[in-house]
Amino acid sequence: MAVAMGTDTKTAILDAAQALLQTRGANGISYQHISDTVKIRKASIHYHFPTKHKLIEAVLRRYCVNFLGLVDAIIASDDPAPVKLRKYIGLFDRTLRNGAGQKVCLCGMLGAELASLRSPTVTLLQRFYRENALRLEKILEEGRKRGMLRFDGEAKTVGMLVFSLLEGAMLLARADGGVKRFRRLTSQLLRMVGA
């Protein structure tokens, strides 16, 4: 993937790094992998991102803004809560499909490598997890109030449970069964909340 016309080098680096991180993890990539993918010298990568940690942090910041923006659009829609929940799950499904069953949520992949990450990245990951749980809480509470979703317990706890299940289901599907396995797991999840 050489730098495409109209794509600046920094964006191409971020795009390549994100794709590699989502399939190989932080410990499975190097600047050489990115250099080979983007068809630029490693020095060009170092110019924009002096360290791998800075690169991972930049990729994560961008990913969080983009992903949470998609979730906010789902929440702001006039769709009923069960449809919002299915669309939210669809974001994870799409990632898995687009990566031929090997690409997972960036934050799920990085979360598995938490011990080897530095503080700004860890803080961003923790915020991403909390923000997703809060957004799911809104969807779940709205659905319960309108009688469209049924579940026991606090919506906040169930929201974190849903998020945890989706992240874990992606990893399981990647290891065994692919998108079909992911869809079986998420179908059961939807039944559990009465969607």
List, as one string, the DSSP characters of the chain. Answer: -PPPTT--HHHHHHHHHHHHHHHH-GGG--HHHHHHHHTS-HHHHHHH-SSHHHHHHHHHHHHHHHHHHHHHHHHHSS--HHHHHHHHHHHHHHHHHHTTT----HHHHHHTTGGGS-HHHHHHHHHHHHHHHHHHHHHHHHHHHTTS---SS-HHHHHHHHHHHHHHHHHHHHHTTHHHHHHHHHHHHHHHTT-
Q: What per-residue confidence (pLDDT) applies to 102? A: 83
Judge contact between 34 and 16, C-beta under 8 A.
yes
Is the entire prediction scored with pTM above 0.85?
Answer: yes
Q: What does the pLDDT look like over 68-105, one tens digit per residue?
A: 999 999 999 999 999 999 999 999 999 998 877 788 99
Question: What are the tens digits of pLDDT across the range 108-167?
Answer: 999 999 889 888 999 999 999 999 999 999 999 999 999 999 999 999 999 999 999 999
Does position 5 have pLDDT exceeding 50, yes or no?
Answer: no
Q: What is the pLDDT of residue 177?
A: 83
**32-54: per-residue pLDDT in tens?**
999 999 999 999 999 999 999 99
- Enter the tokens of residue 126: 């923790």
pLDDT confidence bin for 1, thresholds 50/70/90: low
User: Could you tell me the two tokens for 81?
Assistant: 């809560």
Matching residue, tokens 């809060």: 134
* Domain extents in the chain: 52-192
Of the CA atoms within 13 Å of residue 179, those in its CB half-sphere come to 14
Give CA separation, 145 vs 22, 68, 125, 149, in Å. Answer: 36, 24, 30, 8
Q: Could you please state the CATH topology (level 3) that the domain comprising 52-192 is classified under.
A: Tetracycline Repressor; domain 2 (1.10.357)
Residues in contact with 141: Cβ distance below 8 Å, sequence separation at least 6, in sequence order: 155
Give me the torsion for CA of 152, 158, 162, 163, rounded to 10°: 180
Which amino acid would we find at residue 115?
A
pLDDT at residue 3, as a whole number: 47
**pLDDT at residue 119 in the model:** 84
Distance of alpha carbon 126 from the chain centroid:
13
CA 27 to chain centre: 18
Q: Is the pLDDT of residue 6 over 90?
A: no
Distance CA(42)–CA(82), nearest Å, equals 47
